[in-house]
Amino acid sequence: MTYSSIFLSEWYLTFRRKQDIANSILFFLVVIVLFPIGVSASPSFLASASVGIIWCAASLASMLALDGIFKEDLRDGSIDQWRMNGLMVSIIVLGKVLIRWGAFILPLLVLIPFCGVALSLPEDLMFETIVSLLVGTPTLFLLAAIGASITASLRNSAVLMTLIVMPLYLPVLIFSTGYVKASELGVSGIGQLAILAAIFLIVLLISPFFCAISLKASAE
């Protein structure tokens, strides 16, 4: 058992269970649809709200995409196996989360232009929206992984996970939409993008560490 064999099997598993990825992407679309129907379908409202709507839907969907990522490893004893083979749980966690992120972000990016048209997102903001998603969603995934590792031993974990992870999402939400809005006003949003990247680096440091602590605690 090596890191590469674990990552390879995770990679195959992720793409063999296409329905899991499809579900979180479909969930993203359903949330997008709620806003024009529930709030207002007027193009002027949608144009100003579209970035926020896309980001709200992406943060909810990212939580759903990671819910249960460690459940099977906990149930079938993989976590104990990793530890007995002298592998670091935190590195495996990081690899698993990044693979999930890759499987999630690719179809999402394909969908964004269509969602943008449906939500009357101004065309010159499309690029910034995609950049903000690329820089911001890894942070969301790493934060959601903390929630997923804490709730790994529970049968119904989605609600509790949302409750503890959502407050941690706020800075990402603020700076990513801030970055797109700055470009909308014609100001350079590079500062917000830099803060977004800084938050990513902090979370990259702490998330695998805390995931490992809570997974080990659950496995004992």
Partner 1 sequence: MNWSWFHTLGSPKKFYYLSLKWERFLLSFGALFLGSGLVWGLGFAPEDYLQGNSFRIIYIHVPAAVIAQSFYVAMGVAAFVQIVWRMKLAPIALRGFATVGALMAALALITGAIWGKPTWGTWWQWDARITSVLILLIMYLGIIAIHNTYLERQLSDRLSAVIALVGLINLPIIKYSVDWWNTLHQPATFTLTEQPKMPSEMWLPLLLSFIGLYIVALAIVFIRMQTHILEREKKTRWVRDEVNDGV
**What residue ranges bind partner 1 (CB under 8 A)?**
146, 150, 153-154, 160, 163-164, 166-168, 170-171, 174-175, 178, 195, 199, 202, 206, 210, 213-214, 217-218, 220
Written in H, E and C, the secondary structure of 118-187 is HCCCCHHHHHHHHHHHHHHHHHHHHHHHHHHHHCCCCCCCHHHHHHHHHHHHHHHHHHHHHHHHHHHCCC
Nearer to partner 1, 98 or 213 (CB): 213
> Minimum distance between the CB of residue 145 and partner 1, rounded to whole angstroms?
11
> Minimum distance between the CB of residue 202 and partner 1, rounded to whole angstroms?
7
Nearer to partner 1, 30 or 217 (CB): 217
CA distances for 182 relative to 115, 126, 129, 170, angstroms: 21, 13, 11, 18
Report the amino acid identity of residue 116: G
Nearer to partner 1, 120 or 176 (CB): 176
> Minimum distance between the CB of residue 139 and partner 1, rounded to whole angstroms?
11
> Minimum distance between the CB of residue 201 and partner 1, rounded to whole angstroms?
12
Which residues 6+ apart lie within 8 Å of 210 measured at CB? 146, 149
